């Protein structure tokens, strides 16, 4: 079945479920081999760097799993000003980054006018850089304004493609159908789009994971963010178990085979539960890393889950030592924009 997946880049739902079951205890070496080979076919040994700027931890949403959910009153809230965001870009540019990822909670402070001003100022200051946004669900018109202002990419994980499961992770005012519409709107506007999900989130079944993979195949995004769920002490899911490294690697490998050209980050969440997590992810087909470029004082307050890394191996200022370890793993750090293969705006 793995050979079939490698050759055809697709499987039926029942086959995917079977592959997941077959690899629950240990990963078939064939999976590792074909996933790595597929990544190499399109992107070689390159690992693309993105500088992550966590612009705000204010959020109007109350996702049950998330440490910065609206109802968590223990969070020290912050938002970065335009000047602070530009300063992070300046620091990042000097360090060599050519993609800036602006991520944050759904914070009403950033009106379209404010965001468009921030995006166009970054673009004018650094025309050779890509701007990625990850600011949640917005209207078609807003996405279009962001794009026209110069944003290139947008990350919006679908979180779960099974409605019943999605509803167990989110309050009743949030709907999978709406998130899905946003993802298709983003593609329509012209963004390079990223979807994705957490592995091992509460109530997630094998079937749910197969649905997530099939949804990804249908959407055909350019990027896929897959990391383990990790509980946060001040959320509804404080006492739930974290997702495992093993299952996260399995989902990454299957995604690489289903979407051969995708850009797949070795996520901070994976690095946070296993010091070797990033290396393992790169070996199984991941090809992006996103070190933290936020102002150092704010990082601890963007705590999506407990013990989230933001220093050392996850910090942009450690870029030299991160590059060194990537070379030691046998990969090639790449500081270009790192667009989706053959991408033209």
Do 39 and 9 meet the contact criterion of CB atoms below 8 Å apart? no
Position 157 contacts ligand SAM (CB under 6 A): yes
Sign, CA dihedral 338-161-188-39, equals positive
- Residue placing its CB nearer to ligand SAM in the complex, 103 or 255: 103
Classify residue 41 by burial, with Cβ atoms within 10 Å: 0-12, 13-18, 19+.
Answer: exposed
Piece in contact with ligand SAM (CB under 6 A), picked from 26-34, 153-161, 288-296, 328-336: 153-161
DSSP element (H, E) containing 53: strand 51-56
Contacts (CB under 6 A) with ligand SAM, residues 259-278: 269
Do 212 and 243 meet the contact criterion of CB atoms below 8 Å apart? no
Q: What residues have CB less than 8 Å from 247, skipping those under 6 apart?
A: 24, 199, 200, 209, 228
* Minimum separation from the CB atom of position 284 to ligand SAM (A): 19
Position 199 contacts ligand SAM (CB under 6 A): no
- Residue placing its CB nearer to ligand SAM in the complex, 11 or 198: 198
Among 39, 86, 133, 136, binds ligand SAM (CB under 6 A): 136
Kindly determine how many residues on this chain lie close enough to bind ligand SAM according to the rule CB under 6 A.
19
- Residue placing its CB nearer to ligand SAM in the complex, 231 or 333: 231
Contacts (CB under 6 A) with ligand SAM, residues 297-316: 304-305
CA distances from 226 to 64, 173, 188, 244 (A): 18, 24, 23, 12
- Interatomic CA distance for residues 145 and 163, integer angstroms: 30
Piece in contact with ligand SAM (CB under 6 A), picked from 42-50, 88-96, 103-111, 113-121: 103-111
- Residue placing its CB nearer to ligand SAM in the complex, 38 or 204: 204
Position 65 contacts ligand SAM (CB under 6 A): yes
* Minimum separation from the CB atom of position 149 to ligand SAM (A): 18
- Interatomic CA distance for residues 71 and 123, integer angstroms: 35
- Residue placing its CB nearer to ligand SAM in the complex, 11 or 242: 242
What is the DSSP secondary-structure string of 117-159? HHHHHHHHH-TTSEEEEE-----HHHHHHHHHHT--EEE---B
- Residue placing its CB nearer to ligand SAM in the complex, 122 or 183: 183
* Minimum separation from the CB atom of position 201 to ligand SAM (A): 8
Among 229, 262, 266, 292, binds ligand SAM (CB under 6 A): 229
Among 130, 133, 198, 224, binds ligand SAM (CB under 6 A): 198
Position 106 contacts ligand SAM (CB under 6 A): yes
Do 232 and 305 meet the contact criterion of CB atoms below 8 Å apart? yes
- Interatomic CA distance for residues 1 and 258, integer angstroms: 13
Helix (H, G, I), strand (E, B) or coil at 98: coil
Do 194 and 224 meet the contact criterion of CB atoms below 8 Å apart? yes
Binding region for ligand SAM (CB under 6 A): 65-66, 103, 105-106, 134-136, 156-157, 159, 198, 227, 229-230, 232, 269, 304-305
């Amino acid at each position: 079945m793995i050979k079939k997946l490698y050759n055809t880049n697709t499987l039926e739902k029942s086959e995917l479920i079977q592959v997941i079951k077959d690899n629950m205890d240990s990963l078939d070496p064939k999976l590792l081999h074909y996933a790595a080979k597929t990544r190499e076919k399109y992107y070689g040994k390159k690992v693309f760097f993105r500088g992550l700027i966590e612009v705000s931890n204010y959020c109007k949403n109350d996702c049950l799993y998330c440490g910065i959910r609206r109802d968590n009153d223990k969070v020290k809230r912050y938002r970065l000003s335009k000047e602070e965001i530009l300063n992070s870009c300046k620091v990042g540019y000097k360090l060599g980054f050519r993609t800036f990822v602006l991520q944050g909670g759904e914070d009403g402070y950033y009106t379209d006018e404010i965001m468009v001003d921030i995006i166009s100022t970054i673009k004018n200051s650094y025309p050779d850089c890509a701007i990625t946004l990850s600011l949640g669900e917005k209207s078609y018109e807003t996405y279009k304004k962001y794009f026209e202002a110069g944003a290139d990419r947008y990350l919006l994980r679908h979180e779960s493609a099974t409605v019943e499961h999605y509803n167990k992770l989110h309050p009743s005012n949030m709907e999978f159908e709406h998130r899905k519409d946003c993802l298709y709107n983003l593609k329509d506007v012209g963004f390079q789009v990223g979807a994705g999900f957490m592995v091992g989130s509460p109530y997630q079944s094998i079937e749910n994971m197969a649905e997530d993979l099939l949804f990804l195949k249908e959407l055909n995004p350019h990027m896929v963010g897959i990391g383990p769920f990790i509980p946060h002490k001040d959320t509804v899911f404080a006492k739930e178990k974290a997702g495992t490294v093993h299952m996260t690697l399995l989902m990454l490998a299957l995604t690489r085979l289903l979407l051969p050209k995708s850009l797949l980050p070795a996520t901070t969440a994976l690095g946070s539960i296993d010091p070797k997590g990033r290396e393992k992810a790169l070996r199984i087909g991941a090809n992006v890393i996103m070190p933290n470029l936020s102002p150092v004082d704010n990082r601890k307050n963007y705590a999506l889950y407990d013990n989230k890394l933001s220093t050392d191996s996850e910090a942009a200022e450690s870029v030299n030592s991160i590059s060194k370890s990537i070379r030691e793993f046998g990969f090639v750090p790449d500081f270009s924009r790192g667009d989706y293969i053959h991408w033209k705006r």
